Structure 1
Amino acid sequence: MRLILIFGVDVISENPKKFAVVSWFNGKLERKGEFTLYRLIRFIQSKRPDIVAIDSVTELGDDLRRFLRSLPPETKLVQVTGKPGEQRSLQSLAKEHGIRTADRFDPYEEAKLCALLASKGVGYEVLAFEDEVIVKVTRGRSHGKGGWSQDRYRKRVHNLVRDKVRELEDRLRRADIPFDLETEERDYGLARGEFRIYASREELAGLIRPMRGGDVEVRIYPVERAELGFAPLKGEEAVKERKSIIVGIDPGITVGIAAIDLNGRIIALHSERNMPVGEVFRFVSEIGHPVIVATDVSPAPGFVEKIARSFKANLFVPRESLRIEEKNELLRNLGITVDDDHQRDALAAAYKAYLRLKPKLEHIDARLREAGLSKKADEVKALVIQGYNLGEAMQMVSLRERPKVEENRDEQVREAPDLEPYLRRIRELEKRIEMLENENRELREIIKEQRRTIGRLERRIADYDEEVRRKVLRERELEAKVKRIEVLERQLREAKAVIERLGRDLVQVKRMNVVEIRGSAVPLKVMEVLSWRELERIEREVGLRRGDVLFVVNPAGAGRAIAEELVEKRIRALITEKPLPEPVKVVLREAHVPFFLSEELDVKRVDEFAVVERETLENAIAELMERWKKEDEERKAERLLQLVEEYRLERKKELMRKAEEEKEERQKA
């Protein structure tokens, strides 16, 4: 049996508002102390009791709605004195249920009585929420302004929102919980998704959890009732016999409701904005009991599915959604006008369901007239719609109508019985008993033997199980060792690959050192491309020192930055297989760092090892530096001549200006 924790609560003072709290758990009462409203809410959220019992919810005043919203989903608020208009005093209830009372003006005594009465199932649960929850899935933070990076981030967030919506949709479908979903598409993903789930908060506990603070947010909003409801904790109220009806529902912001009886007569038409599923349920219950809940669209919305399940009614869904022309035609046949499109859609759905059943219902009417059960036509039709065949339904209704046969309680005079047959029967039974006792003894012996056999077989099975267990353990141990061997072999292969790579690098370094020591040739440090990553590799594996000569296979794509880095490294020369990009040439030329094509110097290369004859390299560098020196001198001379020419032109202009000024002065004089 599940243990229940109950908090009894009573007001101590109004300003400031304070409460006395007494707990009941497994028959044990404990005084918890004095709480403000804020501390009481925090205490309830931490302990998560099954019931918070109070003598009247009016004691919470304006804070009632806030208090109800803060309760954990599994915690009920119970008014033990009854529902409004039928309330009784705590003392009278306690006396009725055999609970001793003390000081009626002590708040802790009142809180104790509330807890004890709730433990006995006394009181009414306060219902503040519909069996309906709205779940909104949105992005968690603003995208902000920006270029390509912000666009990529925005698309990523919209994809995350779409994935979360799909995940929640899949969970709800697996849990068989009806819902409606509205989405807003953006960037091939979703900007938002809003679920309207037709289930209570308790049903969703553990299925959907709120998420905040990340790229995606999930928020849960229970739908509050317009007016508080009250449901008894223990027992069920008598339900009056209600008329069987067919109900059409058009869900949406404005809900349309239409009800017709099983003869096709219209009973009710109604439409209302923002009508939650609980209000729809209560409205329909006041009209009658639905045997069919119908919709005009296919597939059926979750809202309509929830209503059908609540009434345990059959759900009617058309093969394809009804067109507006078809709905208008149905209303013309009925000869009725409606206030809005929502009433039209609901009535069309209900009447379409009736037309589908009309031949069967007319056949039932004919059979009932023959059997004289016309007065019970609605009951028989409802049973047939629920799945019974016509014969079973008529039999059930007939049994209900059949008057009970009263027993004849008058004393009847009986003649004295003849005892001889009874004595003879007794003797036969005694012989039969003796025979059965002998048979019983024999069977007991057989049972003993069978038990010994069973015990022997159980021991054999136990030995076999032990052998199997040892075998399984050996196989598991072997499997673990095999997996360990596979891991070690993989690690060994990786280590061998590292050793092989390091060995190649070592051989290359040794070759370059030998060539460098001999002095006949200059070793070149080889780079596949002229890039930062390749430069870092060379520095990490063989090092890059001042005066080194680099050999680059393909320098395409290099720029000024890496050329300036090579200049800073103070390399002696750069040799390439393909021509250098112009920006690199300009940087190296300005820094007087020689650069050549490999075909000019006859470079010898094997794998990652390359050399050039020292004499060839030295002569090429000397010639290039001499040529650059002459080019620099020629450039300087040209610059000097250009300066002299510019000065001569400026001087000529100055003399001409002075001559013009003297001429003007003579003319004035």
Structure 2
Amino acid sequence: MVSWFNGKLERKGEFTLYRLIRFIQAKRPDIVAIDSVTELGDDLRKFLRALPPGTKLVQVTGKPGEQRTLQSLAKEHGIRTGDRFDPYEEAKVAALLASKGVGYEVLAFEDEVIVKVTRGRSHGKGGWSQDRYRKRVHNLVRDKVREIEDRLRRADIPFDLETEEKDYGLARGEFRVYASREELAGLIRPMRGGDVEVRIQPVERAELGFAPLKKEEAIRERKSIIVGIDPGITVGIAAIDLDGRIVALHSERNMPVGEVFRFISEIGHPVIIATDVSPAPGFVEKIARSFKAQLFVPRESLRVEEKNELLRDLGITVDDDHQRDALAAAYKAYLRIKPKLEHIDARLREAGLTKKSDEVKALVIAGYNLGEAMQRVTLRERKKEEEKEEPETEKSFDAEPYLKRIRELERRIELLERENEELREIIKEQRKTIGRLERKIADYDEEVRRKVLRERELEAKVRRIEVLEKQLREAKAVIERLSRDLVQVKRMNVVEVRGSAVPLKVLRVLSWGELDRIEREVGLRKGDVLFVINPAGAGKAIAEELVEKGIRAIITEKPLPEVVKEVLREAHLPFFTSEELDVKRVDEFAVVERETLEKAIEELLKRWEEEDREREAEKLLRLVEEYRIERARELERKAREELEGEKRRKREGF
């Protein structure tokens, strides 16, 4: 093993697998470079799992099936090599190639992470204390799940959550987070040994993946495409090439991030990932970061009419709305860069590089200017041609290639100067357009602001009017009710002043608490007449209390319980219903006409006296009848005894 750090190469020595892993975990390098991952054998997965976050395992010779020798790669990138059979020499070349961005990163994990939140230790057996402890732990698990959920939402990281409820808390929570381990670093920390455990497990791929370290490698080797994505339960994917032709159109339900990544990789290399909504969903941003592609977001979310218009321009029908949204996003992104692509085509025709149009366009989209992109493609082609030529052992010096190279560079410089001048003019025009549009937007914003303020003021006034109208209706209803009550009270006062009415003391219910309230507020004296609204639930004791207090009469809205009636009847305390006496009541005040009350009391007491006399007479007759029957039985018994005595004496005389 050798290390390359800050431009210095240092020989480290030979390591066992265990010591190598310990060394990597201690140093936390950016890249671990190797010429072939097959040399790790069955320990490859174990080695990948042991790498610290942020450290990449890179196979510098290329992805499987397309590998090249270290020597050919070193020659292409200007690295001098020594003994090809020296393992330290191979390690040095691998490190230098990786430092130049050569090679493919070995991907063992999906861009998905499982985060499990569970209790930290067993509850054990026990009584109340164990139950309280179990509930406390489940509440802690619930709080930790809510905390992680809040952090993921604030970081705008997509996820799915499954929970198991227990004891008004949670026994378990499992997140499937659509992000890499590096993205979660510092956001979610694992926890062990306490009441709550948090475990973070990356999702392993079924098969290893390989991603180029540099975007140019992917651009050179695979077809460049523009991809539109519509995320959701059903994911829509659309891909078009840099000439605006549709390459792929697909939609699938419950499609994970890793599957989306593989589907797009099989089509080509995306230089632009597009969405139809603004701002871009986290799912789409994740895919764009994974491919290191440009993210296209429209200034405002595309309307359905605009999407349909874009599809009509393409002259294609789709299977569902998800494919429509994805294709509209991709085509909108293509239309945005179409003028630039047409300009590139024109320049490439002048330079005779039309065969490399796709590659040059992809490099320009990736961030290179047109001159740099054309230069890279030209140099790469020349190196390939030089490699194909057989090296000559002895050859005389020939200046023609150098002169040809100088002429090419002069033409390229002239081309770049013209392109630079044109670009300056384009920038000048664009700045003027931007200034005009900014002024227009400012005027429009001011007009919108005034319109919004007027609408808000109008809405506030309408709401205020509605509130006042409601208050007015309520006030009118209260005034109307109080007016009726006032008329009734005036009538009651007139009747009471004239002495033709008896005021009643009103009880809401017939209970001890209500009796205490009446005595406390207005007093309860002998001879008072009570008016009870709801006597239900009263018992024998409270009825005896009323008799003892000397209440003259009781009037109720609802019938008295039978047990109360019996006590009042026995004590000759009159009781009536409000319907019998025509009670007039307003809230806590009630009166009854004196003449009506006196007459009702007199009639009721007279009826009770007659009933009592009838009961006494019936009782006396019953006693006389019982005495007569008893006397007849006694005489019969004596007669029977005398007859038996006479018979006995006669027998004794014989």
TM-score normalised by the shorter chain: which range applies? Answer: 0.3 to 0.5
Report the TM-score, using the length of structure 2 for normalisation.
Answer: 0.43
Q: Which has the higher helix share?
A: 2
Report the TM-score, using the length of structure 1 for normalisation.
Answer: 0.42
